[in-house]
Amino acid sequence: MLQILIVDDDKNIRRYLGAVLSDAGYSISSADCAQQALDIMENTRIDLIVLDIMMPDMDGCAFTELLRDCNNDIPILMLSAKQLPEDIKKGFLSGTDDYMTKPVDEDVMLLRIRALLRRAKIISDRRLTVGSTILDYDTLTVKNKEICQLLPQKEFQLLYKLLSYPNKIFTRIQLMEDIWGPASDSTDATVSVHINRLRKRFEACTDFSIVTIRGLGYKAQVEEELV
């Protein structure tokens, strides 16, 4: 069972979040400060941290920075009453993976936690499975029932990006910056060319399809049961 650590100095919030996450099937640990959280992490394998920002001694941003400085890439979801853009920006700059403002919507929180855990598994495994299709980041290969293909690096990275976030829409500019880098001389037309190549390669694949969202960009369309 996946283990989630709740770090919040408010015992009522810890109880509330613990109840919600337990009902969702997660195993829960809780701490009222950063030091107690570190003590728990020394003895318990934690898969994700739900973290408050405003805490005594060491706040959530400082705690996150400490973990990242120690090369600890555990997924972190910050929950905070602070809603100003500069507060949210500070949270992300400290190294958090996601940020939600209190009071949180339970269903949205659970969806975000699921996405963070899935993303962390993809990164650690460097392997992504969608139905019968398997993408191996180390070999740049895509294997399914029909065939095993070795893709050019950019095509593979583009497909891996889209399938890592099934049914999420990405703009051409987002994909260009993520795959080619913000300093690239290529234009967003390059993304379109690579998308078309991927469509031709996998036109017979039933596990996913790459869909154009007019005026917005692209998404990998995947049936919910395969996600």
Domain finish residue from 99, 124, 149? 124
CA pair distance 206, 98, nearest whole angstrom: 32
Spell out where 46-126 has E strands: 48-52, 76-80, 98-101
In the chain, the percentage of residues whose pLDDT exceeds 90 is: 61
CA pair distance 18, 10, nearest whole angstrom: 12
Domain of residue 26, residue span: 3-124
The reply to whether 27 and 110 lie within a common domain is: yes
Please report, for residues 49, 153, 192, 218, the alpha-carbon distance to residue 135 in angstroms, rounded to integers and kept in the order given. Answer: 28, 12, 21, 19
pLDDT digits (tens, 9 = 90+) for 142-174: 998 768 999 999 999 999 999 988 888 999 988
The reply to whether 114 and 8 lie within a common domain is: yes
Domain finish residue from 84, 109, 124? 124
**Whole-model pTM above 0.75?**
no
pLDDT digits (tens, 9 = 90+) for 52-88: 999 988 999 999 999 999 988 899 999 988 888 888 9
The CATH number of the domain where 29 resides is what?
3.40.50.2300
The reply to whether 114 and 208 lie within a common domain is: no
Mean pLDDT of 1-9: 93
Q: Which of 48-52, 100-104, 171-175 has the highest mean pLDDT?
A: 48-52
Q: Residue 167: name the closest of 91, 106, 219 by CA.
A: 219
The reply to whether 71 and 113 lie within a common domain is: yes
**Interaxial angle between packed helices 60-69 and 34-43, expressed in degrees from 0 to 180 and rounded to the nearest 10:** 40
The reply to whether 119 and 20 lie within a common domain is: yes
The total of structural domains in the chain comes to 2
pLDDT digits (tens, 9 = 90+) for 118-148: 888 777 778 899 999 999 999 999 998 768 9
The reply to whether 94 and 54 lie within a common domain is: yes
